[in-house]
Every structure is written in C-alpha cells, then in structure tokens.
Amino acid sequence: MTAIKHALQRDIFTPNDERLLSIVNVCKAGKKKKNCFLCATVTTERPVQVKVVKVKKSDKGDFYKRQIAWALRDLAVVDAKDAIKENPEFDLHFEKIYKWVASSTAEKNAFISCIWKLNQRYLRKKIDFVNVSSQLLEESVPSGENQSVAGGDEEAVDEYQELNAREEQDIEIIMEGCEYAISNAEAFAERLSRELQVLDGANIQSIMASEKQVNILMKLLDEALQEVDQIEFKLSSYEEMLQSVKEQMDQISESNHLIHLSNTNNVKLLSEIEFLVNHMDLAKGHIKALQEGDLASSRGIEACTNAADALLQCMNVALRPGHDMLLAVKQQQQRFSDLREHFARRLASHLNNVFVQQGHDQSSTLAQHSIELTLPNHHPFHRDLLRYAKLMEWLKSTDYGKYEGLTKNYMDYLSRLYEREIKDFFEVAKIKMTGTTKESKKFGLHGSSGKLTGSTSSLNKLSVQPSGNRRSQSSSLLDMGNMSTSDLDVADRTKFDKIFEQVLSELEPLCLAEQDFISKFFKLQQHQSMPGTVTEADDLDGGTSSRQHISGTPLPVSSEKDMIRQMMTKIFRCIEPELNNLIALGDKIDSFNSLYMLVKMSHHVWTAQNVDPASFLSTTLGNVLVTVKRNFDKCISNQIRQMEEVKISKKSKVGILPFVAEFEEFAGLAESIFKNAERRGDLDKAYTKLIRGVFVNVEKVANESQKTPRDVVMMENFHHIFATLSRLKISCLEAEKKEAKQKYTDHLQSYVIYSLGQPLEKLNHFFEGVEARVAQGIREEEVSYQLAFNKQELRKVIKEYPGKEVKKGLDNLYKKVDKHLCEEENLLQVVWHSMQDEFIRQYKHFEGLIARCYPGSGVTMEFTIQDILDYCSSIAQSH
C-alpha cells in the first residue's frame, strides 16, 4: 500500500500541487467488484483546499488516473454502518449517497480518522459521523505529550515545502562547484558556512552605510506627521460647521415628509369620497321612477327598468374595507333597501293584477272559439308581459320570495284559464267527432265535461250467412270496433283523423309558446336535453309502467329546467286526462280509429322529441302515446278473439270467411294510414299476429264445416288471402303470402282429384285393381290372364261409359262444384279447367295401361280427348 501511495503522490497529486494524506482501497457495494482508491488530499498552496479523490487504474495500462473529486466541505455524513462490529462497509453522503466496501476494516478506520482530523482542522462546518466507534474518534483527539508531538508533526508537515525549480537549479550549481560535496559532506558544509558568514558581513556593512539615509528619511517622516496634524485640525473645524448644516437639513427633510404624507392622505381621502359618491349615489329621476313610476305604459316600464338596474348596481357595489363602518354609507344602504322593498311590492302587486285581468279578458273570447275547433291565442298577453321580463329578472335577483309568489300566482290564474279553454276545446272536438249533441249522448258524453261515462259494449259474434244472400252477408260484416261498416265508412274515419290531427296541431304550438314565454319571462334556462329525465314514448309494449303522471305531485325543484317542467305541469294539468278521454271516445266510436291515432300521435311525439326530448309536451304526448298503443294492441287482440269465436251455419255453404274479408279491409286501411309512418314496426307486429290467427282459424272452420268440403273452404279462403297480400305487397308478410299460395294450390289439387273419382267410378276401380296386380309382381302383359281383369271384363266396363254417359257425369260434376264454390271468389272456371286437365291426365293414364296390359286387344275408350274438351267447353258455356 505504501508503494501505491508514493506512486499516486508522484504521478497524480504532485503535478497538481496536492499532498496525499490517506488512502483506502474500495469497491462499490452490491455490484461487480471493480476496485478503486479513495484518497484524502490537501493543496500545498494557501488557502488550503481539502478534497476526497477517487482514483482508478486505467484499463489500457498500469498507470492510475484521476476519475472524480469531491470537496470535503460538500461531505454531509460519514456512515460507518456499525460502531461495534468490524464492518468494511461505509457510506459517504455528498450530493447523493455513495456506498463503498473497503478491502479491510483497518484501512476504512484509518481513512475515516483522517477525514475526522481534516474536518476538525480546516472546516468550520462539522461533518456528521454516524455509527463510528467513539474510541476511534478519541484516538484521533490529541492530548498531553501526544498532542504536542502530533502538533509538532502537523506543523512540520505543514512547514515542509518542496523545492521549487529555481531552488533545485541553485543547489545543483553549488554542488557542481564542489565535486567533493557528495564524498565529503562536512567539508561541503564548512564551505557553505564560510560563504554564509561572508554574506552576513556584507549585509551589516550595507546597513551601516545606509544610516545617513535613514536619518534623512526619519526627518522627512517627522515633517509629514506635522502636516497631518494640521490637516486633521482643519478637518475637525469643517466637521463642526457641517454638523449644524446637517441638523438644519434633517429638519427640512422631516418637514417635507410630513407635507408629502398630508398630500397623500388628502388624495386618498378624495379618491374614497369620489368612489362612494360615484357608486352609491342614485339619481333623483331613478328614485322617483321607483317610487311613483307608471308600470302600465311602455315608457314608464323602461324608466322603472333603468332605475331598478341602477339601484341594483348601487346595492351590489363592492365596498372597500372600512366603508361599511361609515354612518353615511349605512344610511344610504338602508335607503336603498327601503326603495327596493317598496318597488318590489309595487311590481308584484301590478303583475298580479295583470294576471287576473288576463283571465277575465281571455274568458270573453271563449264563446267565439267554442264554435270552431281552435284554441285562443295568448300571444298578445305574452307580448305585453314580456315588457316586464327585465324587471322579473331584477326581482329574481333581489327578492326571491316575491318572485316565487308571482310564479305561484301566475300558475294558479293561468291553470284555471287554460283548464276552461282546453275543456271547451275538447268538448267541441268530441261533438264534431260524434256529429251532433244527441250522438254525443249516445256515446256517453254528458254536459260540457266531455267525460266518457258509458262502457264499451261487448263485441258481436260473427256468423256465416247463407250463400243465397251475398249482399246481406257483406253488409252484416262488423268492423274492428263496435259499429257496422254501413254506419261508419271511410269518410267518417277520415273526418276523425282530421279532427284528431287538428286537436294535436292546436295543442302543440300552445304548449311550446307557453313554455317559451315562461323561460323568457321568469328568466329560466331551458336546453335541448335534460339528463336523467325518462319518457315512456319509446317503451310502448310493456303491460305495466312506472311512468310519473303529469297531474301528480311535482318533484322538488333541483334546477331551473325542472322548474319550467313543473310550471308547465301545473298550468296544463288537464291536457293529459282530456287527451285520454278523447282517445277513449275515438276508440269507442270505431276501434279502427286507434290506427289513425297511433300514427298521428307517434309523429307528434317524434317531432316534440326532436325539439326537446324532456320537455313537458314531449313527456305528455309520450305518456298519451302509451295509451294509444295499448288501444291498438287491444284492437288486434279483439280481432283475434273474434276469429276464434266465429261460428258457421250447418245448412249453408261457407264461402269467404268474415274475418278473412275483415283482414283484407284492415290491411288495406292500415297500409293507407301507415304510409311513411314512424311506427311501421308496430303495424308489422300486428300483421304477424293477425295473419297467424287467420291461418289457424281458417283451418279450424274448414275442419268443422259440414255443408262445404274442407278443401273448398281452405282453397277459397287462402286464394283470397294470397290475392290480398299480392295486391297490397306487404313486405313483412312475404313468407305468409307464399304459404297461402301453397295451401291454395294443394287444396285445389286435392279437391279436383277427389271430385273426379266419381264420374268414372267403375272404370277407376277397375284400373286401380290392375295397378294393384302389377304392384304385387304380376307382369303387365299377364294381367289380361287374370279372371277379374281379362279383356271381356275390360270391354264390359268401358261399354258402361259411352260418350253420352261421360258428358252426363261431367255435367253433374259441374253442378256439384258450382254448389260448393262461392260467387265472391269466382274460382269456378279455374277449378273446372283444373278438373279438365286432371280428367285428360287420367284418360291418358288409362290408355297407357290398356296399351301395356292388353297389347293387340284392340280395346279402346268410347270417347277421345277431343270429346272431353268438347264436353267440358259445352258444359261451361251452357251454365
């Protein structure tokens, strides 16, 4: 270690004028062991700088290089890790913590001891030594003789200085002049001593020679001291003179300061007074307007509005600290408060009178509007009241209690007014729907309230009329409601549609105008969307609903949007019950009206939701739409129930079933109503339910039919259904259209085959026996050898069916088919043509069997295919 220390001193620290005092071999803790040295050094020049230097061996050779240096004054803590046990680890806390592991505990202790000494000697800042043995620090403290020795060593070390280059050069010259200096040191020392004595003598002589000059210099110094005394005396006199001037200047400065302070205070006082006068002084004209201003004229309202704004600005002025303690300010504030209270009472009283007067003025116009299906226009009233909108805003910000009172009074007066207008309006609508007042009584309307008191009568049972009276059958078909089609035709339904549309078209602008007025007059914010509000216009299929009734208790006001909705709810609380009564009446007059109402109501709900999905109008119409949708579903359910309750006559043929004709009527009407409608999906669902009910009940009636063959019932009704669906082109019923066509085709074929088995009954039985023998394995050419099927038997059977007999049989068959089929569907010629084709097919089949089973027999039928064609054509023309 000593050799390394000398090498480091020579190679690294001597060129930098530094001395190496202590060294320790270390490596970083927790990493791969790469050894390096920590060195404690001091500079040889003053002021002394103490450093800790990290030295590392170069990777390219055996020399050492200086890697990093820290000033000892930057060292904050030395942590030896353990003061009791030997532990080579220690930490040095510079700008960050450096963790080291020494090669030995002794080296670590020696290095820490050196650091402690340097800290004690050179640094004013004390370094914290943590987990360092007290004995190690005690050993480092010098005491007694040891202290003197240590002190002497340190002084010797401190006094020792290395020779500089010039000194080394002079010593070399001297030694070159004395070649024996190395061999005889004593002679060399004596020579040096002699030369030193010679130099001392020369110095003494030089001093003695300069004594005269020293005396002259001393005399000059005495003269200079006298001059200095004179100058000091003059300076003292000047200082006394300046002292009096200084006192006078101090007095002037203090006087100027007081004057400046007084001016500053005056400026600030003037500024405060101007602030109070400018901001808390209300003009006499404003005071007069607030006390006596005319609230009925436009000019008076404008003056009162300006005065109220000025008063509000004066009351809301931000006073500076201390202003509120001034008596004048308190008096002015009290005056403003009295003016505000007085004007607020005047304004509230005047507006209440305006509300009451509006109720009387509008009542006088009710008689005029009761004749026509229109609602009175409130725009002039709104226009007059909007002149007070700014004053209402002022009242809202200054006296919220009176503002709330006005709001409540407005809702009370206007709710009674609107209730009279809306009830009269709906009464007119009900009268127009039913035609006359007498008819309105027929449907359960009593008085002017327009409420439905009658109950819906039970639906009539459908029955199948005899085919002989087709006209009476069609006139007796009941429509979807409670009245017959002879009483309510398309014109009546169109009239109802127009009246219902007129009702909704009158209500919609009335509600929107009132909501817009409330927002502007009462200064309430309304937005396009209100989160958290739920309407039920989009959930119409459920049987139960958790919707809140508009006429119920309003929710607590949580925002201005809720307040608008609650005000509208109270003002128009009668709209929803009246709409429900009107819907019930329309459904009672004709349940087909539910189709018109569903389309119209859906359109208006969709329009209202596009404007504001959570507005009063949107919510109310959505709730009413729920009722309309339920009536529509009820209408469909009633139709299906009527189908299931159909009873057929045992004595008359069936023909086209009533509910099949009614489905055609329903579908035709629904397609015209729901064209381009928003709720087409509801109709498609109803179609699916109805068509399934029609299919099931047609088959049920066909199975129960005794007079008309099952195939005829199925064929005629499914042909009618297929024709209806083909004509209307209902996209959601494409599958049912194909199914109806297939059922019609299958039952037509079945009926034709069954009917043709009768005209040539024996011939059919004979050839069925032939086919049975062939099926049993007998060869076709050997069938003629069977006793029951020989040529003689064949000729005997064929002779029983000459052309005349065949024509007679076909004629009877035509008459029978004509009795089975109904006139409405006009399928007689279609069926007859199918029978002709099937008869020809059977004829060709018989001819083929004769040719294969009786070859060369010469046996043929007594009529030809052309004869069959002539017979069928002749029979069809004769009938």
Tens of pLDDT, residues 326-371 = 888 888 888 888 888 998 999 899 999 988 887 666 555 555 555 6
Closest CA to 565 of 500, 633, 511: 511
Lowest-confidence pick of 44-48, 411-415, 547-551, 723-727? 547-551
Mean pLDDT for the stretch of residues 106-124: 87
Q: Are 40 and 52 in contact (CB under 8 A)?
A: yes
Q: How many Å apart are CA 434 and CA 622, to the nearest integer?
A: 26
pLDDT over 80 at 168, yes or no: no
For residue 556, cis peptide bond before it (omega within 30 degrees of 0): no
- Name the token pair of 126: 């004390």
User: Does 792 or 52 have the greater pLDDT score?
Assistant: 52
User: Does 65 or 454 have the greater pLDDT score?
Assistant: 65
pLDDT of amino acid 550: 31
- Name the token pair of 211: 């004594």
Residue type, 721: I
Lowest-confidence pick of 51-65, 167-181, 759-773? 167-181
Residue type, 583: I
Lowest-confidence pick of 286-290, 489-493, 556-560, 632-636? 556-560
Q: Collapse the DSSP code of 686 into the 3-class scheme (helix H, G, I; strand E, B; otherwise coil) and give the result.
A: helix
Q: Are 515 and 564 in contact (CB under 8 A)?
A: yes
Lowest-confidence pick of 89-93, 551-555, 586-590? 551-555
Q: How many Å apart are CA 61 and CA 56, to the nearest integer?
A: 11
User: Does 152 or 433 have the greater pLDDT score?
Assistant: 433
Q: Per-residue pLDDT tens for 846-874?
A: 888 888 888 877 788 878 888 778 877 77
Q: Collapse the DSSP code of 34 into the 3-class scheme (helix H, G, I; strand E, B; otherwise coil) and give the result.
A: coil
Closest CA to 118 of 36, 20, 28: 20
Rg (CA), the chain: 63
Q: How many Å apart are CA 358 and CA 413, to the nearest integer?
A: 9
As a whole-number percent, the residues of the chain with pLDDT over 70 amount to 83
CA 867 to chain centre: 82
pLDDT of amino acid 448: 35
Pairing state between β 89-93 and 64-71? unpaired
CA torsion angle 237 242 243 247 (round to 10): 160
Pairing state between β 50-57 and 89-93? unpaired
pLDDT of amino acid 654: 78
Q: How many Å apart are CA 90 and CA 791, to the nearest integer?
A: 134
Sheet containing strand 50-57, strands side by side: 64-71, 50-57, 36-43, 18-28, 97-102, 89-93, 77-79, 128-130
pLDDT of amino acid 183: 65
Pairing state between β 77-79 and 128-130? parallel
Distances (CA, A) of 423 to 188, 358, 450, 589: 145, 18, 8, 20
Q: Per-residue pLDDT tens for 658-697?
A: 888 888 888 888 888 888 777 788 888 888 888 888 888 8
pLDDT of amino acid 460: 35
pLDDT over 70 at 592, yes or no: yes
* Residues 6 or more apart whose Cβ sits within 8 Å of residue 233: none
Distances (CA, A) of 472 to 461, 644, 708, 827: 16, 22, 20, 21
pLDDT over 60 at 534, yes or no: no
Q: Collapse the DSSP code of 9 into the 3-class scheme (helix H, G, I; strand E, B; otherwise coil) and give the result.
A: helix
pLDDT of amino acid 474: 33
Q: How many Å apart are CA 787 and CA 415, to the nearest integer?
A: 104
Closest CA to 615 of 604, 628, 629, 630: 604
Q: How many Å apart are CA 77 and CA 128, to the nearest integer?
A: 5
Lowest-confidence pick of 122-136, 550-564, 696-710? 550-564
CA torsion angle 376 379 381 385 (round to 10): 160
pLDDT of amino acid 70: 92
Q: Per-residue pLDDT tens for 447-501?
A: 333 333 333 333 333 333 433 333 333 333 333 333 444 444 577 778 888 888 8
Q: Collapse the DSSP code of 659 into the 3-class scheme (helix H, G, I; strand E, B; otherwise coil) and give the result.
A: helix
The CB density around residue 402, as the number of other CB atoms within 10 Å, is 18
pLDDT of amino acid 444: 44
Q: How many Å apart are CA 566 and CA 558, to the nearest integer?
A: 11
- The HSE-up count of residue 371 (CA atoms within 13 Å, CB side) is 3
- pLDDT band at residue 24 under the 50/70/90 scheme: very high
- The HSE-up count of residue 253 (CA atoms within 13 Å, CB side) is 6
- CA triplet 730, 734, 739: central angle to 5 degrees? 130
Q: How many Å apart are CA 124 and CA 120, to the nearest integer?
A: 8
Q: How many Å apart are CA 301 and CA 303, to the nearest integer?
A: 5
Q: How many Å apart are CA 329 and CA 276, to the nearest integer?
A: 8
Distance spanning both ends of the chain, measured CA to CA:
143
* Residues 6 or more apart whose Cβ sits within 8 Å of residue 636: 686, 689, 690
- pLDDT band at residue 170 under the 50/70/90 scheme: confident
pLDDT of amino acid 365: 54
Q: Per-residue pLDDT tens for 596-622?
A: 888 888 888 888 888 777 788 888 888
CA torsion angle 125 129 130 132 (round to 10): -170
Lowest-confidence pick of 26-30, 283-287, 713-717, 808-812? 808-812
- Name the token pair of 755: 């009917």
pLDDT of amino acid 643: 84
Mean pLDDT for the stretch of residues 312-330: 81
Q: How many Å apart are CA 320 and CA 343, to the nearest integer?
A: 28
Tokens 């914010």 appear where?
Answer: 525
Closest CA to 595 of 721, 729, 658, 686: 686
Q: Is the pTM of this model over 0.85?
A: no
Distances (CA, A) of 856 to 171, 789, 791, 800, 859: 166, 16, 11, 22, 8
Q: Which helix (H) or strand (E) holds 225?
A: helix 211-280
pLDDT of amino acid 538: 43
pLDDT over 50 at 650, yes or no: yes
Q: DSSP labels for 542-601?
A: -S---PPPTTSPPPP--SHHHHHHHHHHHHTTTHHHHHHHHHHHHHHH-TTHHHHHHHHH
* H runs (alpha helix) in 366-485: 366-371, 379-385, 389-398, 400-434, 437-442, 470-476
As a whole-number percent, the residues of the chain with pLDDT over 90 amount to 7
